[in-house]
Structure 1
Amino acid sequence: MNRLWIAAAAAAALVGGCSSAPDKKSEAVPVPKGFDVPAGVTLTKGGTKLTEDESASVIYQVGTKATSAITVTVAAVRKGSIKKDFTFFSLDDATKASTPFYVDVTVTNEGPAGLGGAALPIFAHDSSNTNLPANDIVGTFRPCRNSTLPKSFLPGATANLCLVYLVPKGKALQSVDLQTGSARDAITWTP
């Protein structure tokens, strides 16, 4: 399983009652042994809560083959329509009753490793406290294109992705989570 290491910089808590915003830049950084954070990159502390268009930088470890710092920005969260957008799909009853959300994400590989074709651990977090993985859609899907990193994603490269999530009937989308090894360390974007 891919492990994602996060560190340094807190943002204002978005939950009622919390008001102070800690300094986003902190030097206490748990970094995997032997990994040097690229110059100019400040890692984001696990548990940070963000809003659309705010960025988070993390160390992304793909198994044992590649480790690189990446910067992720959730640019937009768009609500779709099963009836309109999935007209030509064969769906079961539960899926027909779900609500699609399209999450536009920008990812920059800060280096030092290439991450071509790697899947990102970004989930939709719903009102039942469930993390939903992005749905794989085969072929061209007009409302949401480019759901995976390019085959060649070298340091310095940026990719604009769109991830599709189907939130079950009766549930609401609470956040988009960049998942670490534990749910409590996820970096979250509130739409």
Structure 2
Amino acid sequence: MPTLKRPSLIVAAVVAAFLVLSACGGSDAKDEGVPVPKGFDVPDGVTLTAGGTTLTEDESASVVYQVGTSAASAITVTVTQVAKGTIDDFKFFSLDEASKQASPFYVSVTVKNEGPAGLGGAALPIYAHDDSNTIFPPNELVGNFPPCPTPSLPATFLPGSEAKLCLVYLVPKGKALQSVDLQTGSAKDAITWTP
């Protein structure tokens, strides 16, 4: 992943672990056949989205997101916009040669915590998927980046809370953004939004 550096502002690739939600010993969610972690009760009024579902902008998906071994919560994610930026937006950064040739994409996402756990500060498993079948996490921006502010969940993100995020992806030269993937399990079970 490209790394962008500036003395007062650092951009580094998020190291995101793929979290596999095992169906073993679990229950089906709202009779939809969607596996959930053992002992997890899907909140009332929430219907989980089947893995492999393809959506378009402004369509929502609900999944169980497990952080580590303790916190698990249902979240509803909506990709509201996928906008192509310009590398000129990064003029105050020191870019390596590969990054200078990349195409920036800004992905606006709305996330609602359906409960029961708090997810404050958690990194969401939302990836860019290019036409070479490569997925990569967003570039994490530390500091103010006006073209795409608010890259992470707030420090406190309790059940019932909603957040609007903007994620930055640098798609390598010669590659095209194929989809934005929400991957809480295996790659084949990712939920995808096509721009």
What is the TM-score normalised by the length of structure 2?
Answer: 0.85
The equivalent residue for 2:41 is 36
* Within-5 A mapping of 1:70-89: 70-83=75-88, 85-89=89-93
Q: CA RMSD in A?
A: 1.6
* Distance in 1 between residues matched to 2:110 and 2:22, nearest whole Å: 18
Q: Distance in 1 between matches of 2:33 and 2:113?
A: 22
* More RCO (CA 8 Å, sep 6+): 2
> In 1, distance between residues paired with 2:192 and 2:133?
13
- Find the aligned partners of 1:65 and 1:159 in 2 and give their Cα distance: 22
* 1:69 and 2:74 matched: yes
Which 5+ residue runs of structure 1 have no aligned equivalent?
8-24
Decide which of 47, 56, 66 is 1:51's aligned counterpart: 56
Asked if 2 retains the 8 angstrom alpha-carbon contact of 1:47 and 1:184, the reply is yes
Deviation per residue, 1:15-72 (Å, 9 max, x gap): xxxxxxxxxx853231211110000000000000000000000000001120000000
SS in 1 for 2:109: strand
Counterpart residue type for residue 173 of structure 2: K
| Aligned 8 A contact 2:20 2:186 in 1 | no
How far is 1:179 from its partner? 1.0
- C-alpha distance in 1 between matches for 2:188 and 2:169: 21
Q: CA deviation at 1:180?
A: 2.8
Q: Give the corresponding residue for 2:139.
A: 135
What residue identity is the alignment partner of 1:124?
A: A
Separation in 1, partners of 2:21, 2:191: 11
User: Normalising to structure 1: TM-score of the pair?
Assistant: 0.87
Q: Secondary structure at the match of 1:136?
A: strand
Tell me how far apart the structure 1 counterparts of residues 134 and 18 of structure 2 sit (CA, whole Å): 19
Specify whether residues 185 and 5 from structure 1 end up closer, same or farther in structure 2 by C-alpha distance, changes over 3 A only. same
Between the aligned partners of 1:6 and 1:135, the Cα distance in structure 2 is 28
Aligned residue pair count: 173
Q: Structure 2: how far apart are the matches of 1:102 and 1:165?
A: 7
